[in-house]
Structure 1
Amino acid sequence: MNNYKHKSLSKLIAAILAGSSALSVMAVANAAEQSQVKSDPKLAQTQTQQETQVEKDATGAQAEDEDGLEVIEVSGMRFSQLKALDRKKNGGTMMDSLVAEDIGQFPDKNVAEALQRIPGVQLSRDFGEGDSVSIRGVEPGLLKVEVNNVSALGFGGSRGVDFRDMASELIKALDVIKGSEARLTEGGIGGTIQVETRKPNEFKENFLALSAEGQYNDLIDNVSPKVNFTGVYKFNDRLGVLVNATASDKSTMIHALRNTEWNRYADYDQTAEKTSVHPDYANVTDAGECLSAEDPTACEQQWWDFSPVTPRYGIWGRDEKRLSANATLQYQLTDNLSGHVGYTYNTRDKQALDLNIDLGVGSVLRTNPDSVVVDELHNVRYFETTLAGISNRTLNFAWDQTTTLLDAGFVYANDAWRIEGLVSESTSDQDIDSRDTHATTEGIAGVKVTLDDRGAPEWDYSDGYFVNPEDPTDTSDRFNINDPASYRNRVRYKYAPHEDQAKEIMAKLDITYIPDSDFLSTLKAGYRSSSLKVENADFSYNIIRDVGSTYNSEVWTLQDNINVLSGRTFESRELFSGYDLGVNTVGTYWAVNTEPFIEVMKYISQENLSRADLDVINGNYDQVVNTDAFYFQANFEHELASMRLWGNLGLRYVKTEIGANGDVRERVFVDQTDTFGNILVDQFGIDLAGIEDPDHPQAFVGRKTVIEDYSNSLPSINLNLGLIPDELVLYVGAAKVMAHPNTGDLNVNATCNIYLTRRSQLEDEPRNNCSAGNPALKPYMANQWEVALNWYPTEESIVAGSYFVKDINSWIIDANTRYDVDFFGDGRLWDVRQKINGSGVTNKGLELQASTTFTFLPDPFSNLGGAVNFTHMQSEDVGLFNALTGEELSFPSMSENAYNLTAYYEDEHWSARIAYNYRDEYLARAQDRSGNPVYVDAGGYLDAKLIYTFDNGLKIYIDGRNLTGEVKSENAGPGRLSDLQWSGREYSVGFSYKM
């Protein structure tokens, strides 16, 4: 990849130089003119909130209006709602916003959990915390996330952003832009999330805020501390510096009950009713008729019943040291010219400990068929094992994630022009130092498994025993889950580190001009160039000891296994402590203790390899994605039948070049020949199958680079009509939007087979083929339109409804075979199995929202406020199908219905807030390894917060999250629980103080 030049870097430099030249010229002109006009009111009216230079301090400090009169700004929840509605009104397209109620006082613990309050936004959770969001049913990887107009990066080749990396204390405002404008950076099929942090010159004077809290989780039973510092120092009226840092020692945990997957092994209930319908054999009504079918097994499986594959318990813990920090220097050089430099650093250093105890019953031979009980939905509800396997597994790993963002920019504005320049570097780095230790055993009979109506398994080991091959009736050799002597087959240590890095360098220049026109309010044009590089690497080595196998001329015995485990286990926590699971568990058990286990395995094997000793294994990749974008946008305003009409029309052009470098293996197969060179044939005279010739000149093992490119034009239009001035607005918008593929899907890693046999030359069979990534993937593309009616009965209230359609005419689907592809760009043609672009899916939906403060009511009811929103969505022509039944599936990550309810009370000293978030079931994966689609069950989460504010600026508060004790659960169909995770309830007590 070193040969592949970042061609856009020269363009980046040119853009920076152009911006600097423009800055110099404008500064000279400004000095000559000495303009006293800081901004034109006409421009200010049409600019979005992201474009304003200065916003009043929201701390409740005193300020002066244009007449010199003292003004007291409102702070708190009411202020947040007022400012959020202002941002929505001033937005150039369809958007909703959240504003911090005070410095460092965002209402939720992280950005993702705050975003879930916005209509059309649906939250996904991990370890009880919100980690990612979808917008209008579109998955997280197809959203554009920017921090102060700079791209935020994901991990592991994904474009999805984990919002747990952003502490909410850093945030001033969040904008969720669901429509589109030409000025917006491409990348958001679902929408764009813009995160805005505070700038020092928003403050009139020096400022200091401190906060601290203790977080208590009733599952973990310990307190996690968290502290925040926000400081602003004003050197003078023009120069200021802001530092904001949040640090925490955060512990999270899940207790999990799983079946892993559900598969079909036999027709246990012997009923005439089918379990599922295979589209090719839908007309077969009797299983006996399947004997004459083209695929008898596929036909017969229509009557086979669903059985759990691996019932298991898990206790997964994360101890994290988190730090989110931001520093910004802002300088107002002249009345017209300002600049800034900012740096944001987020890190999560995690120590992870995952305990798992598994019961392997994924085979017809592992279950006693006479014991099986099946329900009316053809799901197994009871069975006893015959030859089951059991694994006691502990994963212990350090998992470090770091993101950084460095940006510098300037803004020049006079009475007709506004010029903005920005350069930035964003990075994301992830390192997972994974250590997997486990002990296994086989041949366990007599374990009783009962599954309730949900499919939740309950195990009874009390009658479990080792099968005696010489006497099947002998049940005396009992299995004990906590006895090292019961793990009789294997002990293993697997070391599998992983690392990935991403870096994006970006430069942009935006120019706004106010023409002398009664129709055009502003003209905008701009250029953005970026270069994104992504790399990853995996390492691995194993120490395995199987009882009965020979190592270094010595047979590994059962006693050797016992010796490794004895004294190297520890007692786990009690499973599902504080939660009524509905079925019994093993309570606690003795799990493999990683450190002493690894130590003895290294001693026995005489292998003491460190990470530095390991080579990168095949399959790593690196990519460079260079993007150049130009746009032009015209904002306009006109009076139509005495009603104000305003909006914008624009076009964005994007050109993308991809350089993908990865591991390639080309295997050459030749005819089998005798010593005289004659091709060998079978008894029917047919050539024998070819054999690999690793020394053939066409054979290749190494790395290759493939370069691809594409370009796209993205038009957009947004129209607003003021049916009632400043109160009732009709909005219509339409746009073409795009999102680049995940970099992990663009890899060139390939295993290819070249056939030089006589049969392949004469019959074109078998054909040269590859299994590979796909650097030639085109972007996700969608045409979208929306109509909305927004009513603002007061400045703090809204009642709104919108209907939207998103036609995704290009999106990436799972691996399929393309024929006669010049994959390496060298003229050779291959049949390549890889991810490809599909088309046809349409998302449509309805959003409703209402919020208000009840200031028109008498005290104390005038201090009440609330908000409610509801989203209904549907998808059509998704192109994903149930692999078992052929039925079309819904769009991944999309819940059909979702809603939020929020109520609050706020007076001079007390404020209270309660919020409930609900979303319907949604598709998590189109299929697991058994072919079942996997859904996340519907769930609702209740959070609350109570604050008391003293007159001296001190606040104390208490809050609670997941007060109703919701769990995250997944299913593979009705009554087929795949995974149930309990993460506990969390409570916090804290204070904040500002001066």
Structure 2
Amino acid sequence: MLYVPNHNLRNLFLPFSRKTLAQITSVVIATASVTLASTAYAQQAASSSSASNAVVLHGDNLEEVVVSGIRFSQRSALDRKKEAGTITDSLVAEDIGAFPDKNIAEALQRIPGIQLERDNGEGSSVSIRGVDPDLLRVEVNNVGALGMGGSRGVDFRDMASELVKSLDVIKGSEARLTEGGIGGTIQVNTRKPNEFDDHFLSVSAEGQYNDVLGEVMPKFNFTGVRKINDDLGVLINITGSDKSTVIHSLQNSDWVRVEDYDKSPDKTTVNVDYADILNKADCASSGNTALCEAQWYDYSPRIPRYAIREREEKRLSANAMVQYQVNDNLSTHLGYTWNNRDKRALDLNLQIATQSKARIDAATAVVDENHNVIDFSTRAGSVSNRSLDFNWDQTTSQFETGFEFNTESLNVTGLLARSTTDQDIDARDATISADNVQGIRVTQHKGGLPVVDFSNANFRLTNTYEAFDPYDPTSYKSRVNSLYTPSVDESEELMAKLDVTYIPDSTIFSAFRFGAQRTEQSFANASFRHEIIRDVGGTYAGSVWTLEDHVNLINGNLKTSPAFFKSYNLPVDSIRYYPAVEPAGLVRDLQALSGDYSTRADLTSEQGNYDIEVNGTAFYTQANIETTLGALLLTGNVGVRVVKTDTAANGDVRIRVLVDRLDENGNPLINEETGGYAGGVPSTNDPDIYSGRKTVKSDYTDVLPSINLTLGLIPEKLELYVGAAKVMARPRMVDINVNADCTIYKNIQAQIDQQANICAGGNPDLDPYRATQFDIALHWYPDENSIVSGAYFAKDVTSWIIDRDTNFGVDFFGDGRVWDVRQKLNGSGVKIQGIELQASTTFTHLPAPFDGLGGAVNYTYMEADDVGLFNQLTGQELPFPSQSKNSYNLTAFYETHDWSIRVAYNYRSQYLAGAAGHSGNPIFVDDAGYLDAKFSYNITPQLKFHADGRNLTSEVKTTNTGVGRISSYDWAGREYAIGLTYKM
């Protein structure tokens, strides 16, 4: 059971280290410039005998060269970059459903400065230049997309990639752009019916296979365009799929410090308040013995666990649009997009609670040089067999209608839209447990991977020992419980927008733009809780819950888990299968035995729910520039956007009042030890007592100037871009809630001590995140298919929302009463800077068969200062959350008229996931790299076959709290797919 194979986690699948790969990347970036230079030279030499690379001379005939496929997408993306008014990178799908990645987030990871977050092995959200998803602006056809659960971050799994024509990642800013993106703006653009010249039909079918799940998952897409006439078109796009994902996870579930096991004279951590105390025995006179002695406490695993998290989803995305060209000047459209993810989530956990001093047998503890407890046996461990069963429904919708009016000198566009998100989680947690189990041995291998040995586990009875067996239902003899925690939340945004562009007769200004926008956003949530508990020996409804009752309930409700870490060579010995509670059956039987069939309708919403309204009104003016600076072309824009925000936060508030304790004569009691008055007690009839809902309103105004300038150093070849802007993003909904628990002190001693009235709650008066950003970039376009680019960016976040602290003297409810409130606050900010390097080309100038080659490489380096987060144990400043210092993409492809193959590798270095775990140490996600590939073959001009694979290097996701302290080791498997697409 304790045998450990000799594997190296870092190099288990890669034939080279990531450090080596990073060095290769830098070489590739450097040499790409030389390669592209030779490409450009060869093409310029060839231009003397060819008027255009789109035309080939054959005697008296001209033959047009049609660029399609991957090369067309790459060229189109470069065209969008050149035409953008600020620094932008784009992705273009050359055909329906032709994005090389399975969802929008995974496609976006190929762009410089984008870093992907994965959930259950699938790309879910992205950050731009290290700024997390909550602080990005995401738009679909210029309409804001909303997050779930009060988050502003958008889960891109909610949108099928088949709906998308192009993606624009706008890293700079213009006055015309809707505010809300500290990191940037992601614009998702879908297809329009009048982009098609004739009727169109595309049908595709695909089967996906995950080698952990071992099942085929179907997916289909239907796209149809009906041209009623040249001016009126209708488009319908429907994508449906059965999508299952899974994580097999070997966990310590964080680390804790509960005891000094190694008795080393060296401290494990240093508390700055007791740094001068070098001998543990001297802590007795320190004033706080426990805090002082904790400096010598070693790290031990909190809850070693085997966990399997399965997600089964039925996804459906639909988009319908009608577009009508009224006349030569006026066009209108009406569109509706609907996305639904109907999920069942099942988590199977076999876990051992070891998070306290009483649970670990100190005599068995072995501690390594980093003060990590790497081997121990339990003294009073608690084993839980816990399954969580969620029915989880998520729906987003977007309705939009608008018009565009054009003349030679005037363009007017208007847009009305309504966006919604709805989330309903029906969650049940079924657990059976055994307390006071001794002899469970937990050993850490390979830098912190737990190996659990139950062979000597037992219950210590009065004079005997009884073995504990995790496979035996009779061993779980302590408790069974069912926890029901349903929740619902919904968001809505209404938007009206008008933009006017005037084209003057000017040698300096190419356009003047003006506009106004109104948004009204709301969020509301509700959560509920109900629990049924049965403890062996407890009395319920007059009857004793016996061990026999207990075992009879458990029997029949245990099942064998799927093979643990199937298809992966786990580098330590581990349990292969384990018993898992079947939650639906256990809950059903427990309800029947207790007679408790409570549903959501029977429950009262828990305290802590809130609803919030955020309304924004914006006006902007912008001038586009096109002139010359000497002999060089200068283009760009300058403008300003003014935004007023009004918020109204409504939530649960409880105010209690402390008054004096009175003796039998009605006089305040005296504390005999201190001579002062005794502490207060809660009053039951004071008029200031309150329990109910309150609304707090706030407002703020932001002035956001911006400037973007591009100087053509070599016409159509070399451009120097400079841009600067002020940007803002509104706080997260959860941070501006008004929920509060408050205390008013009316007792005499508190008044003598000048004790302030206190609250703990949200902060509806939070200012938004505000930043000043600067970009400078040099773009070289050797030809229409190629780019070599370098960019430097800096972002000074002048208003940053920091973790909870005490805010003194706050008129929290706007009624004149002053409180000291523990809440999130606006900090001084953080400074982010970095560089982005990219190069891409297609080798069309080379002789066949090498003319089908192409590739791209990009690299991003980022760092942050003055983050304002510190390691609780060392005081050392922490890196910016969710920001990897290094990330890069390597892409290579080969394409002919009939077939293509594409290989892509994405890497990001370690990043901070949480500022403090249970041990006080920060939590990091380790560096990781993912290799994907896709092959396509045109069977006929109308029928295409494709096959692809993802995570071909079998990467795992690992989190840790320091050297030798792995918290989780997650395996999501490799995924393969084959499919057909038919077009007519």
Q: TM-score, normalised by structure 2?
A: 0.93
Counterpart in 2 of 1:15?
A: none
Q: How many residues in Structure 1 have an aligned counterpart in Structure 2?
A: 923
One-letter identity of the residue aligned with 1:142? L
Deviation at 1:929, TM superposition (A): 3.3
The alignment status of 1:337 with 2:330, answered yes or no, reads yes
Counterpart in 1 of 2:633?
A: 644
The alignment status of 1:467 with 2:467, answered yes or no, reads no
One-letter identity of the residue aligned with 2:135? L
Deviation at 1:71, TM superposition (A): 6.4
Q: 1:964 pairs with 940, 953, 969, which one?
A: 953
Rounded Cα–Cα distance in structure 1 between residues aligned with 2:625 and 2:822: 50
8 Å Cα contact 2:81/2:88 also seen in 1: yes
Counterpart in 2 of 1:709?
A: 699
User: What SS does the corresponding residue of 1:265 show, helix, strand or coil?
Assistant: strand
Deviation at 1:549, TM superposition (A): 2.2
One-letter identity of the residue aligned with 2:144? S
Counterpart in 1 of 2:929?
A: 940
The alignment status of 1:747 with 2:737, answered yes or no, reads yes
Counterpart in 2 of 1:111?
A: 104
Taking the TM superposition and a 5 Å limit, the aligned residue runs for 1:754-773 are 754-765=744-755, 767-773=756-762
Counterpart in 1 of 2:363?
A: 370
Rounded Cα–Cα distance in structure 2 between residues aligned with 1:987 and 1:840: 44
User: What SS does the corresponding residue of 2:134 show, helix, strand or coil?
Assistant: helix
Counterpart in 1 of 2:617?
A: 628
One-letter identity of the residue aligned with 1:706? V
Taking the TM superposition and a 5 Å limit, the aligned residue runs for 1:94-493 are 94-468=87-461, 470-471=462-463, 474=464, 476-493=465-482
The alignment status of 1:884 with 2:873, answered yes or no, reads yes
8 Å Cα contact 2:738/2:763 also seen in 1: yes
User: What SS does the corresponding residue of 1:870 show, helix, strand or coil?
Assistant: strand
The alignment status of 1:720 with 2:710, answered yes or no, reads yes
Rounded Cα–Cα distance in structure 2 between residues aligned with 1:938 and 1:463: 37
User: What SS does the corresponding residue of 2:208 show, helix, strand or coil?
Assistant: strand
The alignment status of 1:843 with 2:828, answered yes or no, reads no
Counterpart in 2 of 1:682?
A: 671
Deviation at 1:211, TM superposition (A): 0.7
One-letter identity of the residue aligned with 2:696? V
User: Tell me, which stretches of 5 or more residues in structure 1 are unaligned?
Assistant: 1-68
Rounded Cα–Cα distance in structure 2 between residues aligned with 1:694 and 1:954: 77
The alignment status of 1:546 with 2:535, answered yes or no, reads yes
One-letter identity of the residue aligned with 1:641? G
8 Å Cα contact 2:92/2:167 also seen in 1: yes
Taking the TM superposition and a 5 Å limit, the aligned residue runs for 1:483-882 are 483-684=472-673, 685-765=675-755, 767-882=756-871
Deviation at 1:72, TM superposition (A): 6.7
User: What SS does the corresponding residue of 1:288 show, helix, strand or coil?
Assistant: helix
User: What SS does the corresponding residue of 2:531 show, helix, strand or coil?
Assistant: strand
Deviation at 1:276, TM superposition (A): 2.0
Deviation at 1:275, TM superposition (A): 1.8
Rounded Cα–Cα distance in structure 1 between residues aligned with 2:426 and 2:466: 39
Rounded Cα–Cα distance in structure 2 between residues aligned with 1:285 and 1:589: 46
Rounded Cα–Cα distance in structure 2 between residues aligned with 1:885 and 1:313: 31
Deviation at 1:585, TM superposition (A): 2.1
Taking the TM superposition and a 5 Å limit, the aligned residue runs for 1:49-60 are none
One-letter identity of the residue aligned with 1:369? A
User: What SS does the corresponding residue of 2:72 show, helix, strand or coil?
Assistant: helix
User: What SS does the corresponding residue of 1:226 show, helix, strand or coil?
Assistant: strand
Rounded Cα–Cα distance in structure 1 between residues aligned with 2:335 and 2:573: 54
Deviation at 1:73, TM superposition (A): 4.4
Rounded Cα–Cα distance in structure 2 between residues aligned with 1:927 and 1:934: 6
Deviation at 1:825, TM superposition (A): 0.3
Note the aligned Cα RMSD (angstroms).
Answer: 1.3
Rounded Cα–Cα distance in structure 1 between residues aligned with 2:631 and 2:894: 40
Rounded Cα–Cα distance in structure 1 between residues aligned with 2:124 and 2:193: 29
Q: CA 1:487–1:911 in structure 2 vs 1: closer, same or farther (change >3 Å)?
A: same
Residues 109-156 of structure 1: per-residue CA shift (max 9 Å, x gap)? 000000000000000101110000000011110000000000000011
Rounded Cα–Cα distance in structure 2 between residues aligned with 1:824 and 1:463: 59
8 Å Cα contact 1:815/1:833 also seen in 2: yes
One-letter identity of the residue aligned with 1:478? A
8 Å Cα contact 1:387/1:467 also seen in 2: no
Deviation at 1:289, TM superposition (A): 2.7
8 Å Cα contact 1:75/1:102 also seen in 2: no
Rounded Cα–Cα distance in structure 2 between residues aligned with 1:667 and 1:548: 38
One-letter identity of the residue aligned with 2:353? G
8 Å Cα contact 1:393/1:439 also seen in 2: yes
Deviation at 1:373, TM superposition (A): 1.3
Rounded Cα–Cα distance in structure 2 between residues aligned with 1:243 and 1:681: 79
User: What SS does the corresponding residue of 2:358 show, helix, strand or coil?
Assistant: helix
8 Å Cα contact 2:678/2:749 also seen in 1: no
Rounded Cα–Cα distance in structure 2 between residues aligned with 1:548 and 1:987: 52
One-letter identity of the residue aligned with 1:697? P
Residues 93-121 of structure 1: per-residue CA shift (max 9 Å, x gap)? 00100000212211110000000000000
The alignment status of 1:81 with 2:74, answered yes or no, reads yes
Rounded Cα–Cα distance in structure 2 between residues aligned with 1:814 and 1:431: 29
Deviation at 1:448, TM superposition (A): 1.1
Deviation at 1:959, TM superposition (A): 0.3
Counterpart in 1 of 2:22?
A: none
User: What SS does the corresponding residue of 1:477 show, helix, strand or coil?
Assistant: strand
Residues 573-628 of structure 1: per-residue CA shift (max 9 Å, x gap)? 11111111112222212211122211221122221111111111111100000000
One-letter identity of the residue aligned with 1:495? Y
Deviation at 1:682, TM superposition (A): 2.1
Deviates more, 1:80-89 or 1:633-642: 633-642
Rounded Cα–Cα distance in structure 1 between residues aligned with 2:579 and 2:770: 52
Deviation at 1:70, TM superposition (A): 9.7
The alignment status of 1:974 with 2:963, answered yes or no, reads yes
Deviates more, 1:580-589 or 1:428-437: 580-589
Deviation at 1:674, TM superposition (A): 2.3
Residues 536-593 of structure 1: per-residue CA shift (max 9 Å, x gap)? 0001111111222222222222222212111121111111111111122222122111
Deviation at 1:372, TM superposition (A): 1.2
8 Å Cα contact 2:446/2:572 also seen in 1: no
Residues 279-328 of structure 1: per-residue CA shift (max 9 Å, x gap)? 22333332233222233322222222111010001111111000111011
The alignment status of 1:903 with 2:896, answered yes or no, reads no
Rounded Cα–Cα distance in structure 2 between residues aligned with 1:370 and 1:545: 34
User: What SS does the corresponding residue of 2:466 show, helix, strand or coil?
Assistant: coil
Deviation at 1:523, TM superposition (A): 0.4
One-letter identity of the residue aligned with 2:659? V
Rounded Cα–Cα distance in structure 1 between residues aligned with 2:415 and 2:71: 33
User: Tell me, which stretches of 5 or more residues in structure 2 are unaligned?
Assistant: 1-61
8 Å Cα contact 2:299/2:919 also seen in 1: no
Deviation at 1:890, TM superposition (A): 0.2
Rounded Cα–Cα distance in structure 2 between residues aligned with 1:181 and 1:536: 34
User: What SS does the corresponding residue of 2:75 show, helix, strand or coil?
Assistant: helix
Rounded Cα–Cα distance in structure 2 between residues aligned with 1:652 and 1:606: 62
One-letter identity of the residue aligned with 2:766? L
8 Å Cα contact 1:101/1:107 also seen in 2: no
